[in-house]
Amino acid sequence: MYEFDYHQPKSVGEAADLLAAKDNAKLLAGGMSLLPTLKLRLAQYSNVVDIAALEGIAGIKRDGATLIIGAMTRHYDVASSDVVRQAIPALAALAGGIGDPLVRNRGTIGGSIANADPAADYPAAVLGLGATVVTNQRNIAGDDFFTGLFETALEPAEIIKAVRFPVPLTAGYVKFPNPASRFALVGVFVAKTAGGVRVAVTGAGPCVFRLTAAEAALSNKFDASAVDDIAIDPGTLSSDLHATAEYRAHAVAVMLKRAVDTATQAAKT
């Protein structure tokens, strides 16, 4: 690890000021992605701004048809929250399937979506539910948030404060986990909302994306049989040491059907 100056601001405003004023500064939340990067010397920052102790940036509440989760809320707290389980059980299940107990007890929803790992789980929920990312500067629609491999619409000194999830009629998330890390080799989030059906795929490409052909088919008939004939083009998918693009294309089709089944079952309970 290279040397850096460590800062522990007391408010989001103070953290934003530090990010803007200090040379080569980086936010630290749960540290589950940033710290390994620093320890392996894959990145070097002169200033690290720790937001773990900030007031008012963690917590879960429901406001009518919206579930609001503070950026510093740990994966474990989302997974075990009765409010989340009641409003969006698929989101609680998604959080409970992230990594291992250490990662779930340290990692945060804000850190996960800011990091925008192509195999991360939360991006599928943000896109699949049409969530809104609330920062210290503005509200960003989930559709506009993820822009590429480890890239988001966030400006350098912008801090995520919360994520606002519309409560769907029903939803399901199923991933094929990498057996070592539990990251999604492929993960599919399906949501049936009052405004239509949304399907988001993570793990398969450089960035989470919507599967519009599946959305159209499921809008006609919300049943796994409706997506039997959906062709997944491997041409735009990733190939790496974990899986080829063709393998991922097949896995997307399988996870899609399972996610629809999960959502259908959830609607009955």
Ligand X SMILES: Cc1cc2nc3c(=O)[nH]c(=O)nc-3n(C[C@H](O)[C@H](O)[C@H](O)COP(=O)(O)OP(=O)(O)OC[C@H]3O[C@@H](n4cnc5c(N)ncnc54)[C@H](O)[C@@H]3O)c2cc1C
Report the nearest approach of ligand X to the CB of residue 182 (Å). 3
CB 174 within 8 A of CB 264: no
Other CB atoms within 10 Å distance of the CB of residue 86? 12
Interface residue with ligand X among 99, 205, 206, 234 (CB under 6 A) is: 99
Q: Does 33 bind ligand X (CB under 6 A)?
A: yes
Taking only Cα atoms into account, the Rg of the chain, rounded to an integer number of angstroms, comes to: 18
CB 51 within 8 A of CB 159: yes
Report the nearest approach of ligand X to the CB of residue 83 (Å). 20
Alpha-carbon gap, residue 22 to 210, rounded angstroms: 37
Report the nearest approach of ligand X to the CB of residue 117 (Å). 6
Alpha-carbon gap, residue 27 to 31, rounded angstroms: 9
Residue number with CB closer to ligand X (25 or 190): 25
- E runs forming strands in 76-183: 132-135, 139-141, 146-148, 151-152, 160-166, 170-177
Residue number with CB closer to ligand X (207 or 218): 207
Alpha-carbon gap, residue 83 to 122, rounded angstroms: 17
Report the nearest approach of ligand X to the CB of residue 184 (Å). 6
Report the nearest approach of ligand X to the CB of residue 225 (Å). 30
Report the nearest approach of ligand X to the CB of residue 217 (Å). 27
- E runs forming strands in 59-113: 60-63, 66-70
With CB under 6 A as the rule, give the number of residues binding ligand X.
Answer: 32
Residue number with CB closer to ligand X (50 or 143): 50
Report the nearest approach of ligand X to the CB of residue 111 (Å). 2
Q: Does 185 bind ligand X (CB under 6 A)?
A: no
Alpha-carbon gap, residue 94 to 5, rounded angstroms: 35
Residue number with CB closer to ligand X (77 or 117): 117
Q: Cα angle vertex 105, ends 101, 108, to 5°? A: 125
Report the nearest approach of ligand X to the CB of residue 63 (Å). 20
Interface residue with ligand X among 47, 181, 193, 264 (CB under 6 A) is: 181
Contacts to ligand X from residues 101-160, by CB under 6 A: 103, 106-108, 110-112, 114-115, 117, 120-122, 154, 159-160
Residue number with CB closer to ligand X (96 or 234): 96
Contacts to ligand X from residues 210-229, by CB under 6 A: none
Q: Does 253 bind ligand X (CB under 6 A)?
A: no
CB 71 within 8 A of CB 37: no
Main-chain dihedrals φ then ψ at residue 187, nearest 5 degrees: -140, 140
In three-state secondary structure terms, 224 is helix
Contacts to ligand X from residues 1-30, by CB under 6 A: 26-30
Q: Which residues bind ligand X (CB under 6 A)?
A: 26-34, 36, 71, 98-99, 103, 106-108, 110-112, 114-115, 117, 120-122, 154, 159-160, 181-183
